[in-house]
C-alpha cells in the first residue's frame, strides 16, 4: 500500500490507545512503518511534517520512548520542543491543563504526552485542539509501544493470526501489557497473561485473553513471550515476594523449552536482568529486544504522519 | 425551560388554587385528580376568592422533597456554593427541606456553629436543617458535643466524607445517641480497604488502568455499624449506599429489628462505572461500549464511586422493596478547576439537587422504578427520618412540589441555580420540569 492510499481513509486525529483502532487501521500503521523504516535511510519524507511543531511533554522519566519520538518527528521534518518538565513551571503548581493550553498557544500542533495518571491524554483531547499522542498514561495504555511490539512480532512470525503470545510479569500495573492485549488480539493472536495471582486475576473477564497461573501454563505452545518490568515497590505493595517471583516466573534457557522451540522473547525495557529473565536470554538468538527498540522510530513516524493527515 | 423565579421562606404566605391537578400523596396512598387549595401556610378546603388559580392539567402535585444529604460550601468556599445558592438549587429541584453536612470550613462541630447555619438559612428558598459533626473537627478522634448540638437544632450527626474510623469510637458515639433522638448518619467506607481506589473495582477499572475501589470498603463498615446499632439500640442512618452486599445487610438487619434507615444517591441508581469509560447509558438501559473520547471525565469521579450496573439495579430493587428508605443527593459542588484534571486527581462528588428528581423520572420512564415509590423516597420517607411530616391532606402544612412529568429540559451550566456545575449530565435532556415548589405555604420556586 502506498502512503497516499493510507492517508485517504485515515480519520483519527489522536492516538489514545490501541482499542480505538480497527485491525485494518493497525495494519495500515504497521505497513506504513515498514515503508518509513526503508525510507529513513534514503531520507524520503523528510519534509512531510514540516508544518508541525511537536511538543514532547514527559511528566515521567523516559529515554527510549522520548528519544524515538523526537527522532521520528525530526526525520519527518517537524520542529520539536522538549518540555524538560522537571525544571519548568509544573513545579510551581501549574495545572496540566494550563500547561497544555500554554503549549498550544505557543504554537505546538502535536502533543506527545507521558503522564503518571491514566486518562491524562484524554484530558488533553478535551481541553486543547492539538493532536494528542499517548506516550504512556499511568497503568492504562502505551499504544506506540504495543504497535512497535506488534510490528516486531509480525516481522519475526510473518503473521499473528493463530499465534499464541504470552505476557508474563506484573501485568496488572502494565500499560504496555494492556495496549498489547488490544493490539495482538486485534491482529488475530491469542494472548495469555501469566504471573503471580495479584498481577493477573483482573484479566479474567477480558475478551480473548487467557489467564495462566503457572509459567508452564503460560508458555505452553507460545510463539513468543513478552516479559514485563517488575518493580520492587509494586511487588511489596501486592505482597508478591521477589524471591518467589524469580523462583516461579523468571525466564531462562531451560524454562523457554516450555514454549515452542523457536519461540521469541520480547521486553519493553529497561530490563532487570536476573529478575524477569536472564542476561543470556536478553542477548541470545531468540531475543527481539533490540528489534523492538529499532522499530520505535519508524512506528512513531508512521503514527505521526497519519495523525497529522500529511502522510 | 423558562428561567424561573425564586421566593423565600420569609415571604408572605401564598393563596393558591391548583385546579385539576393529579395529587400523589404517599402519606395516605392518594392518587387522584382534584383541586388543591393553599392559604396561610396550610392546605385548606376552599381557597379564598382572590387566590391565584393555577391550571393543574397535566401536572402532578406531591409532598415537597426532603434531601438528607447536601454539601453547602458555606462557610469556607462561597464561590462554589453558599447557603443561598444551594437553597435555590434545592427549590428548583422540588425540595422543601435539605440537610446540610458539616464538612464546611470550619466544620460544624459545635452548637454555636449549628445555630449560625440555621440563622443564615432562615431567609432562603428552602428549609435547611443542620447535621452536626460526630467528632471534633471531623477528625475521628473525640466525640463532639452531641447533646448541645441537638439543642441547637442538629437533626443527626455525621463525619461524612469519612466513616467513624475506629470501632470503639463508633460504639461510643452510638452509645451516646442511644439516649438521644437522632441518628448517626454514616458514610460507610473503610479507608484502608478503599486504599487509593478511584472508581469501582471491576472490568471497567481494569480496562482503564485505574485503581479499583472494592465493595468491601463499604459493606464491612455497614456490617460493623449494624452490629453496634443493634448492641446499643441507637438509631443508625447509612447514607449513599452503593453496593449490593450493603443492601442485603440492611435488609437482614431491618428484619431482625435493628433501628436502621438508609439512603441511596441518584447517581448510584442511574449512572454506572461504565460512565467513567465514556458510556452515557443509564443503568436500566442496555450497556454499550463507551466513547473513549469522553472517558476519564473528572465529572464522573465521586465517592463512593459509581456502582457496577448489577449493583445499580440492586439498589433500584432495594428502593422498591423498602430496604432503602430514601433518595438523598449527596449534592457536592466543586469548582471546574478541581474537575478539569486527570481522573484520579479530580475532587470527588457531583451536584444533584437540580437533577435528582429528573433522574428518578428517567428511571420511571425506563421501567426501573414506580412513580409513587420515587415520590415517597424523595419526600415522605426521608422527611420521617428527620421527624418532619409530609401530607397533602387538609390542614397539613403546605409543603409541595408541582411538576410536569412529560416535559423535558436540557441541562446547561449557565442555567443552574447552584453556583457549581460539576455533573456529567451537562447537555443532557432529562424528563420532568418543576413548575412550583411551595414550602410552609410560601412559593419558593416557580417556572
Closest-CA distance, B261 to chain A, in angstroms, reads 34
**pLDDT of residue A2 exceeding 70:** no
Q: How far apart are the first and last CA of chain A?
A: 12
What is the predicted pLDDT for the residue at B331?
A: 98
Q: How far apart are CA A167 and CA A173, in angstroms?
A: 13
Reported as a pLDDT band with limits 50, 70 and 90, residue A7 is very low
How much is the pLDDT for A88? 55
Distance CA B229, CA B234 (A): 5
ipTM for the whole complex: 0.93
Lowest-pLDDT range of A80-94, A131-145, A192-206, B403-417:
A80-94
Q: What is the predicted pLDDT for the residue at A86? A: 62
CB of B287 within 8 Å of any CB in chain A?
Answer: no
Please say if B330 is a catalytic residue.
yes
What SS3 state is found at B190? coil
Buried/exposed A131-147: b ≥16 CB within 10 Å, e otherwise: bbbbbbbbbbbbbbbbb
Q: Does domain B63-389+406-429 have CATH number 3.20.20.140?
A: yes
Q: What confidence tier does A92 reach under pLDDT thresholds 50, 70, 90?
A: low
Contacts B210 to A, Cβ<8 Å:
118-119, 138-140
Q: Are B423 and B266 in contact (CB under 8 A)?
A: no
Q: What mean pLDDT do residues A299-304 have?
A: 98
Of residues B67, B273, B330, B399, which has the active-site annotation? Answer: B330
Residue A264: phi and psi, rounded to 5, are: -95, 165
Would you call A140 and B203 a contact, using CB atoms and an 8 Å cutoff? Answer: no
In angstroms, the CA B205 to CA B195 distance is 14
Whether the predicted pLDDT of A192 surpasses 70 = yes
Give chain A's domains with CATH numbers: 3-141+293-308 (3.40.50.1370), 143-290 (3.40.50.1370)
Residues of chain B positioned with their CB less than 8 A from the CB of A175? 209
Q: B203 touching A, CB under 8 A?
A: yes
The three grid cell numbers given for residue B330, joined into one nine-digit string:
449527596
Q: Is the pLDDT of residue B313 over 80?
A: yes
Please give the average per-residue pLDDT across A214-234, as a whole number: 94
Q: Select the residue from A123, A146, A205, A234 to test the B interface by mutation, using most B Cβ atoms within 10 A.
A: A123
Picking from A41-50, A124-133, A140-149, A275-284, which range would have the lowest pLDDT averaged per residue?
A41-50
Task: Spell out which residues of chain A touch residue B287, defining contact as CB-CB under 8 Å.
Answer: none
Give the mean pLDDT of B12-35.
97
Q: Is the Cβ pair B292, A203 closer than 8 Å?
A: no
pLDDT at A214 over 50: yes
Q: B173, B184 in Cβ contact below 8 A?
A: yes
Give the number of other CB atoms < 10 A from CB of residue B161. 17
- Please name the residue that has the C-alpha cell 401536572: B59
The answer to whether A115 contacts chain B (CB < 8 Å) is yes
Q: Give yes or no for residue A1 having a pLDDT over 60.
A: no
Look at residue B371 and tell me whether its pLDDT is greater than 50: yes
Q: How confident is the model at residue A6 (pLDDT cuts 50, 70, 90)?
A: very low
Of B209, B292, B295, the CB nearest to A175: B209
For residue B274, list chain A residues with Cβ-Cβ distance below 8 A. none
Across the interface, whether the CB atoms of A95 and B343 are under 8 A apart is answered no
CA closest to A96 among chain B residues: B341
The Cα angle at residue A209 between residues A205 and A215, in degrees rounded to 5: 110
Whether residue A212 has pLDDT greater than 70: yes
Q: Which of A95, A118, A141 sits opposite B343 (nearest CB)?
A: A118
Note whether A97 contacts B: Cβ–Cβ < 8 A. yes
Strands B127-132 and B95-100: parallel
Determine contact: A37 vs chain B, CB below 8 A. Answer: no
Mean pLDDT of chain A: 92
Taking only the tens place, the pLDDT of each residue in B223-245 is: 999 999 999 999 999 999 999 99
Contact A119 B293 (CB under 8 A): no
Strands (E), chain A: 53-58, 79-82, 110-115, 131-137, 164-168, 190-194, 209-212, 224-227, 264-266
Amino acid at each position: 500500500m502506498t502512503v497516499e492510499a493510507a492517508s485517504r481513509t485515515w480519520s483519527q486525529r489522536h492516538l489514545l490507545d490501541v482499542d480505538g483502532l480497527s485491525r485494518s487501521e493497525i495494519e495500515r500503521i504497521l505497513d506504513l512503518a515498514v515503508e518509513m523504516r526503508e525510507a529513513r535511510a534514503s531520507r524520503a519524507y523528510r519534509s512531510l511534517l514540516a508544518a508541525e511543531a511537536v511538543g514532547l511533554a514527559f511528566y515521567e522519566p523516559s529515554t527510549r520512548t522520548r528519544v524515538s519520538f523526537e527522532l521520528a518527528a525530526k526525520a519527518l521534518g517537524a520542529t520539536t520542543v522538549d518540555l524538560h518538565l522537571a525544571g519548568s513551571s509544573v513545579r510551581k503548581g501549574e495545572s496540566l491543563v494550563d500547561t497544555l493550553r500554554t503549549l498550544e498557544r505557543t504554537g505546538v500542533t502535536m502533543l506527545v504526552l507521558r503522564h503518571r495518571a491514566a486518562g491524562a491524554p484524554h484530558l488533553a483531547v478535551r481541553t486543547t485542539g492539538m493532536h494528542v499522542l499517548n506516550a504512556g498514561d499511568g497503568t492504562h495504555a502505551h499504544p506506540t509501544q504495543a504497535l512497535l511490539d506488534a510490528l516486531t512480532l509480525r516481522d519475526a512470525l510473518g503473521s499473528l493470526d493463530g499465534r499464541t503470545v504470552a505476557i508474563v510479569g506484573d501485568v496488572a500495573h502494565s500499560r504496555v501489557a494492556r495496549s498489547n492485549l488490544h493490539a495482538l488480539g486485534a491482529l488475530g493472536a491469542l494472548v495469555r497473561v501469566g504471573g503471580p495471582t495479584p498481577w493477573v486475576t483482573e484479566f479474567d473477564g477480558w475478551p480473548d485473553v487467557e489467564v495462566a497461573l503457572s509459567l508452564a501454563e503460560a508458555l505452553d505452545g507460545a510463539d513468543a513471550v513478552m516479559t514485563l518490568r517488575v518493580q520492587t515497590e509494586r511487588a511489596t505493595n501486592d505482597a508478591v515476594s521477589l524471591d518467589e517471583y524469580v523462583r516461579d516466573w523468571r525466564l531462562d534457557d531451560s524454562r523457554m523449552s516450555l514454549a515452542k522451540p523457536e519461540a521469541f522473547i520480547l521486553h519493553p525495557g529497561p530490563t532487570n536482568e536476573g529478575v524477569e529473565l536472564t542476561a543470556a536470554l536478553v542477548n541470545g538468538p531468540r531475543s527481539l529486544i533490540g528489534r523492538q527498540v529499532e522499530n520505535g522510530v519508524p512506528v512513531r513516524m508512521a503514527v505521526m504522519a497519519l495523525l497529522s493527515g500529511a502522510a | 425551560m423558562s428561567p424561573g423565579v425564586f421566593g423565600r421562606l420569609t415571604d408572605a404566605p401564598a393563596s393558591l388554587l391548583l385546579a385539576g391537578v393529579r395529587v400523589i400523596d404517599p402519606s395516605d396512598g392518594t392518587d387522584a385528580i382534584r383541586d388543591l387549595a393553599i392559604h396561610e401556610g396550610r392546605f385548606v378546603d376552599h381557597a379564598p376568592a382572590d387566590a391565584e388559580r393555577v391550571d393543574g392539567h397535566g401536572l402532578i402535585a406531591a409532598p415537597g422533597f426532603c434531601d438528607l444529604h447536601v454539601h453547602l460550601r458555606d462557610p469556607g468556599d462561597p464561590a462554589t456554593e453558599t447557603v443561598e445558592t444551594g437553597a435555590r438549587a434545592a427549590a428548583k429541584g422540588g425540595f422543601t427541606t435539605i440537610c446540610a453536612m458539616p464538612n464546611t470550613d470550619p466544620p460544624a462541630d459545635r452548637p454555636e456553629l449549628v445555630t449560625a447555619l440555621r440563622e443564615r438559612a432562615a431567609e432562603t428558598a428552602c428549609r435547611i436543617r443542620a447535621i452536626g459533626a460526630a467528632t471534633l473537627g471531623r477528625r475521628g478522634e473525640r466525640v463532639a458535643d452531641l447533646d448541645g448540638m441537638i439543642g441547637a437544632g442538629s437533626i443527626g450527626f455525621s463525619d461524612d466524607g469519612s466513616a467513624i474510623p475506629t470501632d470503639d469510637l463508633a460504639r461510643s458515639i452510638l452509645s451516646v445517641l442511644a439516649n438521644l433522638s437522632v441518628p448517626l448518619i454514616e458514610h460507610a467506607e473503610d479507608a484502608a480497604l478503599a486504599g487509593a481506589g478511584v472508581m469501582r473495582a471491576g472490568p471497567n477499572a481494569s480496562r482503564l488502568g485505574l485503581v479499583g475501589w472494592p465493595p468491601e470498603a463499604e459493606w464491612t463498615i455497614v456490617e460493623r455499624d449494624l452490629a453496634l446499632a443493634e448492641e446499643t439500640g441507637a438509631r443508625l442512618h447509612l447514607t449513599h449506599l452503593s453496593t449490593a452486599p450493603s443492601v442485603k445487610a440492611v435488609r437482614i438487619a431491618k428484619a431482625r429489628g435493628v433501628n436502621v434507615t438508609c439512603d441511596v444517591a441518584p447517581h448510584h441508581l442511574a449512572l454506572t462505572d461504565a460512565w467513567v469509560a465514556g458510556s452515557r447509558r443509564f443503568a436500566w438501559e442496555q450497556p454499550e461500549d463507551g466513547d473513549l473520547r469522553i472517558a476519564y471525565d473528572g465529572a464522573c469521579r465521586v465517592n463512593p464511586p459509581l456502582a457496577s450496573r448489577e449493583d445499580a439495579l440492586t439498589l433500584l430493587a432495594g428502593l422498591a422493596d423498602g430496604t432503602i428508605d430514601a433518595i438523598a443527593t449527596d449534592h457536592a459542588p466543586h469548582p471546574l478547576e478541581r474537575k478539569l484534571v486527570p481522573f484520579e486527581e479530580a475532587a470527588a462528588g457531583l451536584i444533584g439537587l437540580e437533577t435528582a428528581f429528573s433522574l428518578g423520572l428517567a428511571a420511571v420512564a425506563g421501567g426501573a422504578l414506580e412513580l409513587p415509590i420515587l415520590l415517597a423516597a424523595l419526600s415522605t420517607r426521608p422527611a420521617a427520618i428527620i421527624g418532619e411530616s409530609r401530607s397533602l391532606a387538609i390542614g397539613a402544612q403546605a409543603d409541595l412540589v408541582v411538576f410536569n412529568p412529560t416535559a423535558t429540559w436540557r441541562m446547561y451550566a449557565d442555567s443552574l441555580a447552584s453556583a457549581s456545575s460539576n455533573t456529567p449530565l451537562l447537555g443532557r435532556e432529562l424528563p420532568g420540569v418543576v413548575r412550583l415548589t411551595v414550602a410552609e405555604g410560601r412559593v419558593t420556586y416557580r417556572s
